[in-house]
C-alpha cells in the first residue's frame, strides 16, 4: 500500500470517526457454529459443479451442474436424468409461473426452457451482455428478475472480481416473454441472489462483496429505493431460498477472515499477488480447501496432533442460515474447518425436506427433518 493510500485512510478516520469500519461480526446467536451440515444425508453420487436447485410442479428437483441441468426424482431424489444442456455453465435456477425453467448460463444470458426442452434466450440488456448472471426469480405476474454479478468477469472468475474490489453488478428485470428488459439497479457489489417475498410485493437481493442483504418494494418491473436488511454479515451471502416456516434460507459460500479483509485493503500487495501467483493460491475465500502445500493459511493453530481444529481460521467453510422476514438469523447449519460440505450456494424446502447444495464438495444434501418447517 502506498503512502498516499495510508494518508487517505488516516484522514478518513479523523474526519469521519464514527463511520462503520465493517468489522467482521462474531458468529453467535443464530449463527452459533455446529456440525449439522456434515450430519445430513447425501442424495446419490457426487454432482461436480452443482450450483443451484429448483423444485418443479412434478415434485422433482432440478440441479444446475456444469453445462447441464439434471432432474432428480423419486424417493430421496435418487433417480437422475438430464433435463437440459447448454454451451456454458448453468447456474441460477427458477421456475416461471407458466412452467418454464429459467436458467442462468455463464457467458450467454438467461435461457427459458419449456417442458419439451425448447429454449428461448435473453442475451443482453441495454446493449450490455448478460455474461455473469448469478440468480433469477419470477413474480406471480410473470415478471422476471435477475442478478448480473459483474460486467467485467464471468461467474467462474468471481475470485478475481473480489480481489479487484469491483462493484460492477446490476439488478435486471424483463417480461414473461423475455421482452422489455431493463436495468433496475447498477453499481452493485456482486449481487448473487434474488427472491420475491411471500407477499409478492417485495424483492430481496444479496451483495456478496458488501456482505449485505437488501430489499425493495416492486410493482410490475418497477422498483423503489432499496433498504438494507442486514448490513454486515460474517460471510459472503449467495442465494435466497424459500423456507416453509417463513423467511428465507440464506446460503453463505464462505466466511470472512481477518487475513482476507487485510489483503483487500493492501492495494500494492494484492496487485503483486494477482500478477505473480496462480489464482488458486491467492489469499482469498474458496469454495473448498484444496490441500495444496502452498495453499495460504492464517495463524491460529490450524492443526493439533495432525487434526484440523474446527475453530481454526477457515479458508473454506459451509454455512446455511435461516432468516426471518426481518432478516434476523433464526438458526444455522455449519460445516466447520475440517468438515466435508463447504461452499454452500443454494437451499430450499421441498416436499421431501430441506435440500442443500454444497458446491465445494459437489454434493446435494437432504435434511428430512424439514429444516425450518
| pLDDT tens track for 313-369 | 888 999 999 999 999 999 999 999 889 999 999 999 999 999 999 999 999 999 987
CB of 234 within 8 A of CB of 27? yes
Element (H, E) at 265: helix 258-265
Tell me the C-alpha distance between 126 and 230, whole Å.
30
- Cell numbers describing residue 198: 411471500
Query: pLDDT per residue over 32-60, tens digit each?
Result: 999 999 999 999 999 999 999 999 999 99
Report the candidate in 48, 136, 141 with the shortest Cα–Cα distance to residue 89.
48
Percent of the chain with pLDDT over 90: 81
Percent of the chain with pLDDT over 70: 90
Report the candidate in 150, 194, 137, 145 with the shortest Cα–Cα distance to residue 173.
145
pLDDT of 373 above 50: no
Tell me the C-alpha distance between 142 and 54, whole Å.
17
Tell me the C-alpha distance between 364 and 61, whole Å.
11
Report the candidate in 165, 161, 124 with the shortest Cα–Cα distance to residue 146.
124
**Cα–Cα–Cα angle for 238, 136, 119, nearest 5°?**
135
CB of 89 within 8 A of CB of 106? yes
Alpha-carbon separation of residue 111 from 105, 123, 135 (angstroms): 7, 9, 12
Tell me the C-alpha distance between 302 and 248, whole Å.
33
Cβ neighbours of residue 271 closer than 8 Å, sequence gap 6 or more: none
CB of 287 within 8 A of CB of 253? yes
pLDDT for the residue 315? 87
- State CA 198 to chain mean position distance: 20
Report the candidate in 48, 76, 50, 72 with the shortest Cα–Cα distance to residue 61.
72
Question: Across-strand partners of 103?
Answer: 93, 111
Tell me the C-alpha distance between 100 and 343, whole Å.
28
Tell me the C-alpha distance between 90 and 87, whole Å.
9
Question: Across-strand partners of 171?
Answer: 147, 185
Strands laid side by side in the 353-358 sheet: 41-42, 363-367, 353-358, 344-350
Which range is least confidently modeled, 82-91, 281-290, 362-371? 362-371
Query: pLDDT per residue over 10-20, tens digit each?
Result: 666 666 554 55
pLDDT for the residue 310? 76
Cβ neighbours of residue 344 closer than 8 Å, sequence gap 6 or more: 37, 238, 251, 252, 253, 318, 319, 320, 335, 356, 357, 358, 359, 360
Query: pLDDT per residue over 233-284, tens digit each?
Result: 999 999 999 998 899 999 999 999 999 999 999 999 999 999 999 998 999 9
pTM for the structure as a whole:
0.91
Residue with more model confidence, 304 or 95: 95
How far the first Cα of the chain sits from its last, in Å, is: 49
Alpha-carbon separation of residue 7 from 2, 12, 21, 165, 258 (angstroms): 9, 9, 17, 20, 22
- Cell numbers describing residue 300: 491460529
pLDDT for the residue 17? 55
pLDDT for the residue 302? 64
DSSP E strand stretches across 208-327: 212-219, 222-223, 227-230, 235-242, 248-255, 303-304, 307-308, 318-323
Annotation: CATH topology of 3-290+307-367: Neuraminidase (2.120.10)
Domain ranges in the chain are 3-290+307-367
pLDDT for the residue 2? 57
pLDDT for the residue 23? 83
Amino acid at each position: 500500500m502506498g503512502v498516499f493510500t495510508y494518508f487517505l485512510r488516516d484522514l478518513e478516520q479523523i474526519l469521519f470517526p464514527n463511520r462503520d469500519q465493517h468489522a467482521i461480526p462474531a458468529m453467535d446467536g443464530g449463527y452459533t457454529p455446529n456440525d449439522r451440515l456434515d450430519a445430513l444425508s447425501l442424495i446419490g453420487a457426487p454432482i461436480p459443479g452443482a450450483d443451484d436447485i429448483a423444485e418443479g410442479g412434478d415434485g422433482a428437483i432440478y440441479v444446475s451442474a456444469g453445462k447441464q441441468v439434471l432432474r432428480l426424482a423419486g424417493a430421496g431424489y435418487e433417480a437422475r436424468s438430464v433435463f437440459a444442456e447448454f454451451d456454458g455453465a448453468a447456474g441460477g435456477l427458477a421456475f416461471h409461473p407458466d412452467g418454464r425453467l429459467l436458467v442462468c448460463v455463464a457467458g450467454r444470458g438467461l435461457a427459458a426452457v419449456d417442458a419439451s426442452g425448447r429454449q428461448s434466450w435473453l442475451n443482453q440488456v441495454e446493449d450490455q451482455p448478460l455474461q455473469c448472471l448469478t440468480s433469477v426469480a419470477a413474480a406471480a405476474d410473470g415478471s422476471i428478475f435477475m442478478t448480473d454479478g459483474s460486467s467485467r468477469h464471468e461467474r467462474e472468475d468471481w475470485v478475481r472480481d473480489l480481489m479487484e474490489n469491483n462493484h460492477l453488478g446490476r439488478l435486471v428485470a424483463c417480461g414473461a416473454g423475455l421482452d422489455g428488459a431493463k436495468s433496475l439497479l447498477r453499481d452493485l457489489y456482486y449481487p448473487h441472489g434474488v427472491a420475491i417475498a411471500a407477499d409478492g410485493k417485495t424483492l430481496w437481493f444479496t451483495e456478496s462483496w458488501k456482505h449485505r442483504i437488501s430489499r425493495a418494494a416492486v410493482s410490475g418491473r418497477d422498483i423503489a429505493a432499496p433498504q438494507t436488511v442486514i448490513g454486515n454479515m460474517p460471510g459472503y451471502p449467495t442465494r435466497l431460498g424459500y423456507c416453509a416456516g417463513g423467511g428465507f434460507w440464506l446460503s453463505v459460500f464462505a466466511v470472512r477472515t481477518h487475513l482476507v479483509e487485510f489483503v483487500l485493503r493492501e492495494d500494492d500487495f494484492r496487485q503483486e499477488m494477482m500478477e505473480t501467483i496462480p489464482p488458486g493460491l491467492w489469499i482469498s475465500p474458496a469454495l473448498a480447501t484444496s490441500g495444496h502445500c502452498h495453499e495460504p493459511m492464517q495463524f491460529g493453530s490450524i492443526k493439533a496432533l495432525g487434526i484440523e481444529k474446527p475453530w481454526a481460521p477457515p479458508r473454506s467453510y459451509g454455512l446455511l442460515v435461516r432468516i426471518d422476514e426481518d432478516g434476523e438469523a433464526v438458526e444455522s447449519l455449519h460445516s466447520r474447518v475440517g468438515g466435508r460440505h463447504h461452499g454452500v450456494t443454494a437451499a430450499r424446502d421441498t416436499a421431501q425436506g430441506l435440500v442443500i447444495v454444497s458446491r465445494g464438495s459437489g454434493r446435494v444434501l437432504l435434511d428430512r427433518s424439514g429444516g425450518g418447517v
